[in-house]
């Protein structure tokens, strides 16, 4: 079994591009609309929905562009991404204005790392071994 994609919400295409393309380096591969008839069946909300898909060789993300300035309400749900150089990503994310959460591990020089996007979606970041 493998994960085909993760799906999250974001306020705007601009914010989505900034996080997934500019920060994470994913390629925007497709934009599409999901009919209100399907959205109500899937999610119980009657609204046509714009979705953008970003990918690289290891990850696919479908971003639901909701054009709503409210923040994500769930504080525990997160996706975990593995990168080659966490320190470089921390510097880049900080310089781009994203919230970076670094928490030192006990009895170690290592740290836990989370980054929040503009919609307050949370991403745990681990370094490839």
CATH annotation of 6-127? 3.10.180.10
DSSP of 71-121: PP--SS-EEEEEES-HHHHHHHHHHTT-EEEEEEPTTSS-EEEEEE-TT--
pLDDT-flagged residues of the chain (< 70): 1
DSSP assignment letter at 18: I
- The predicted pLDDT at position 104 comes to 92
Task: Give residue 88's pLDDT.
Answer: 96
pLDDT at 69: 77
Coil/strand/helix, residue 33: strand
What is the Cα Rg of the chain in Å? 16
How confident is the model at residue 77, as a pLDDT?
Answer: 85
* Residues 124 and 79: beta-carbon distance below 8 Å: yes
Q: How far is CA 65 from CA 11, 25, 35, 68, 113, in A?
A: 6, 19, 14, 8, 26
């Amino acid at each position: 079994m493998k994960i085909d994609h993760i799906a999250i919400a974001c306020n705007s295409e601009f914010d989505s591009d900034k996080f997934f393309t500019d920060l994470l380096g994913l390629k925007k591969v497709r934009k599409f609309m999901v009919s209100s008839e399907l959205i109500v069946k899937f999610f119980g909300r009657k609204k046509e929905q714009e979705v953008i898909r970003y990918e690289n060789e290891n990850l696919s993300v479908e971003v639901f562009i909701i054009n709503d300035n409210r923040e994500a309400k769930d504080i525990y749900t997160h996706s975990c991404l593995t990168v080659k150089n966490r320190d470089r990503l921390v510097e880049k994310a900080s310089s781009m204005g994203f919230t970076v959460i670094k928490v030192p591990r006990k009895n170690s020089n290592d740290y836990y790392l989370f980054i929040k996007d503009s919609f307050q979606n949370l991403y745990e970041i681990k370094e490839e071994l």
